[in-house]
């Protein structure tokens, strides 16, 4: 149960779960976001109200769902709604946080989940937006979970699927998005970033244990500032790992 045995997925889930302290409502996607939300609900935010794209609201997450439309997203919940209903709730400001991911991310937290390469003749055609554009546009804050690779962290996206801070301060508001919303953190298997208020570009605020700044920079396709008091992320605790492995995902569906 030692921290040295924690997998990259477990580290990602633990770091993201800690960011949910004090959270109330959160949009959850498939995979690591489910692990993180279930861990947060178990240890850090017992009143957390999970919201799923296909309409499940308030599931206790006693059994990990396999996807955002699976029956466990509704089990023992407070509401069984539809996709339009939950997106309308986000538009009204009723969903505080949202988990997002993508194939590419740029310095402003904009995401691409549509194509790699030219849109008309892409090298790879990706799943598309789903509800990600709505989550990134309407939630008060978003937490982006990414595998940290240079091909994913790019200066310019091949396609803009989900808005972050677009091209800098004030851009979201000029585009008609709700004031005060936007990306909050980018959590990777190497580091954690926030967004510098003056520029709205990604800024490194913490490294994972054993990861050097040089390694993080080598896997990032654009320059980034470093916070003056950049920290080292705590290792996953034995309690966190035990909860993940024995209670949340004992069948190792996502771990």
Region of 200 on the Ramachandran plot (φ > 0 left; ψ -120 to 50 alpha; else beta): left
Q: Indicate the pairing of strand 141-146 with strand 25-28.
A: unpaired
Contact 61, 50 (CB under 8 A): yes
Per-residue tokens: 226: 């470093």
Q: Which of these, 183, 122, 181, lies nearest to 157 by C-alpha position?
A: 122
Q: How far is CA 131 from the centre of its chain?
A: 13
- 10 noted as active-site residue: no
Q: Which two tokens stand for residue 229?
A: 């008091």
**Residue from 4, 10, 53, 62 carrying the catalytic annotation:** 53
- What's the chain's length in residues? 255
Q: Cβ-count burial of 177 within 10 angstroms (0-12 exposed, 13-18 middle, 19+ buried)?
A: middle
Output the CA–CA distances (angstroms, integers) from residue 206 to 12, 35, 98, 99, 190, in the order listed: 13, 21, 21, 19, 9
Write out the catalytic residue numbers: 53
């Amino acid at each position: 149960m030692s921290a040295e045995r924690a997998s990259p997925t477990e580290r990602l889930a633990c770091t993201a779960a800690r960011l949910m302290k004090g959270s109330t409502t959160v949009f959850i996607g498939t995979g690591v976001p489910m692990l993180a939300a279930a861990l947060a609900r178990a240890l850090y935010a017992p009143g957390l109200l999970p919201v799923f794209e296909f309409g499940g609201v308030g599931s206790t997450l006693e059994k990990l769902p396999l996807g955002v439309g699976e029956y466990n997203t509704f089990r023992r919940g407070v509401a069984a709604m539809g996709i339009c209903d939950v997106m309308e709730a986000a538009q009204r400001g009723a969903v505080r946080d949202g988990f997002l991911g993508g194939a590419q991310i740029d310095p402003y937290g904009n995401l691409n989940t549509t194509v790699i390469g030219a849109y008309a003749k892409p090298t790879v055609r990706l799943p598309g937006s789903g509800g990600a554009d709505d989550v990134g546009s309407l939630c008060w804050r978003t937490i982006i979970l990414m595998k940290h690779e240079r091909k994913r962290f790019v200066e310019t996206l091949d396609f803009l699927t989900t808005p972050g801070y677009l091209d800098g301060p004030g851009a979201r508001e000029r585009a008609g998005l709700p004031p005060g919303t936007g990306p909050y953190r980018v959590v990777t298997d190497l580091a954690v970033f926030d967004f510098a208020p003056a520029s709205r570009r990604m800024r490194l605020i913490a490294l994972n244990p054993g990861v050097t700044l040089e390694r993080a920079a080598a896997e990032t396709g654009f320059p980034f500032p470093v916070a003056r008091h950049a920290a080292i992320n705590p290792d996953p605790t034995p309690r966190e790992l035990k909860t993940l492995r024995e209670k949340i995902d004992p069948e190792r569906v996502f771990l």
